[in-house]
Structure formats: C-alpha cells, structure tokens
Amino acid sequence: MLKTIGAAFVLIGTVFGGYSNVLRLKKREKQLRDLAEALEKIQAELTFHAPPLARIFGGMMGVYPGEIGGFFGEWAGTLGGAAGGEAGVIGGQLTQTWFSLLTEEEQSVLHPLFFTLGRYDIEVQKNALEEAKVHLNRYAQKAAEDRLRLSRVYMVLSVALGVMVVLVCL
C-alpha cells in the first residue's frame, strides 16, 4: 500500500514538472503576444492623443495586470527626472526583472525602443514601436510553434520518467 502511494507521488511529481515546463512555454508565448499588443496600444495612443509617456504607461497597468502592467508601471515612475538616456537604460534593466521568461535576444529587440520613446517626435517613436512589434510578433509565432512541438514532448517525457522511476524503485 505504502509503495503504491509512493509510486503515485513520484508519478504526480514528474508529471507536475513536465506540466510546469508546458505552462512556462505558454506563459512565454502569452508574454510576447501581450507585449506586442501593448506596443500597438502605445502606438495608437501616440497617434491619436500623444499624451506624456507616464500617462500611457499608467493606463497599461489597468489593461495588463501581470508582468506587462508591472513593467510599464515601474518604468512610468522613473520617467520624470531621468537624465539624458537614463530612461532607456532603466527600461532595459526592468525588462530583465519583469520578463525573465524572454531570452536575451528577445529582450534586446526592445532596447532601441527604450532609447527612442519620449526622446523624438511621434513619427520616429511610432517607427521604433512598429519595428519592435514586428520582432515580438515573430518571436511570439516561434514561441507558439515551440509550445506545440515541446508540450507533447515534455508531457510524454515526464510521464515516462515517472513510470521508469516507479518501475526501478518497485
């Protein structure tokens, strides 16, 4: 009886590990899609209202309660007194904090944007947003493919690993 319970725990543990990886893939894809969507919203705000960035970013907190909102909210708080290109540097640092699921390459497509937002006229900012958005959408597409491909692999491997451990131990 004890052995059966132990085996069940081992199996649940390995399946949970596999499922966590699947969730991570899902979350990464969602983060990329949401980020691209957020950039589109910023682009629209700049086109139609052109308010200060802090106000746009503040609005993002309401629309995206998770990491995206947190990122823009924290960045908005640093904007007022930022020296020269400091806002861009801060944006880059916050990316690492809030978007740890994204690879370095994925994070790096945002950096030129951080050094453009708020420092040039609307057209230049919109172009930078468009470029970052194109890259993010491409990464999101790749992330979706990775999720489809790897989700099954992770699940099969986690179940197989659990069964193997159970068999070895029993």
Partner 1 sequence: MENAYLLGRFEAAAGFLPEHLRGKVNALPLRAKLQAEEFRLRLERPLFVTYFWGEETISGTKITENDLETVLNIVSGSSVHTVLDQLKRGFVALRGGHRLGVCGTAVMERGEIGTLKDFSSLCLRIAKEYRNVATPVIPMVCRDGEMLNTLILSAPGGGKTTLLRDMIRRLSNGENCVTKRVGLVDERGEIAGIWNGRATLDVGARTDVMDRVSKGKGIQFLLKGLNPQLIALDEVTEEEDLEGMKQAVGCGVTLLATAHAGDFRDFTRRKLYKSVLNEEIFERFVEISNFGGNREYHVLNGAGERLC
Nearest distance, CB of residue 81 and partner 1, angstroms: 6
Nearest distance, CB of residue 40 and partner 1, angstroms: 18
Nearest distance, CB of residue 72 and partner 1, angstroms: 13
Mask for 15-54, x = binds partner 1 (CB under 8 A) = -------------------------------x---xxxxx
Report DSSP letters for the chain, one per residue.
Answer: -HHHHHHHHHHHHHHHHHHHHHHHHHHHHHHHHHHHHHHHHHHHHHHHT---HHHHHHHHHHH-TTHHHHHHHHHHHHHTT--TTHHHHHHHHHHHHH-TTS-HHHHHTTHHHHTTTTTS-HHHHHHHHHHHHHHHHHHHHHHHHHHHHHHHHHHHHHHHHHHHHHHHH-
Count the neighbouring beta carbons within 10 Å of the beta carbon of residue 48: 8
Mask for 80-119, x = binds partner 1 (CB under 8 A) = xxxxxx-x------------------------------xx
Rank residues 76 and 102 by Cβ distance to partner 1 and give the closer one.
76
Mask for 116-155, x = binds partner 1 (CB under 8 A) = --xxxxx--x------------------------------
Q: Which residues bind partner 1 (CB under 8 A)?
A: 46, 50-54, 79-85, 87, 118-122, 125
